[in-house]
Amino acid sequence: MRSWMFFWIVTLLAQPLAAAELKALPVQPAPPLALPSLAGPGVDLGQLRGKVVLVNFWAVWCPPCRKEMPSMSRLMSKMDGRPFTILGVNEGESPEEINAFLRQVPVNFPILLDREGELLKSWKVFAFPTSYVVDKRGNLRLGLFGSIEWDSPEAVAQLEKLLAEPD
CATH of the domain at 99: 3.40.30.10
Any idea which of 15-19, 31-35, 156-160, 161-165 has the lowest mean pLDDT? 15-19
The answer as to whether 8 is a domain residue is: yes
Mean pLDDT across 147-162: 97
pTM exceeding the 0.75 threshold for the entire prediction:
yes
pLDDT digits (tens, 9 = 90+) for 17-40: 344 689 999 999 999 999 999 998
Task: Indicate the DSSP class of residue 112.
Answer: E
Question: Residue 145: which domain range?
Answer: 2-37+48-164
The answer as to whether 43 is a domain residue is: no
Per-residue model confidence (pLDDT) at position 115: 93
Q: How many domains does the chain have?
A: 1
Name every residue whose Cβ is closer than 8 Å to that of residue 130 and which is 6 or more positions away in sequence. 56, 57, 123, 124, 143, 144, 145
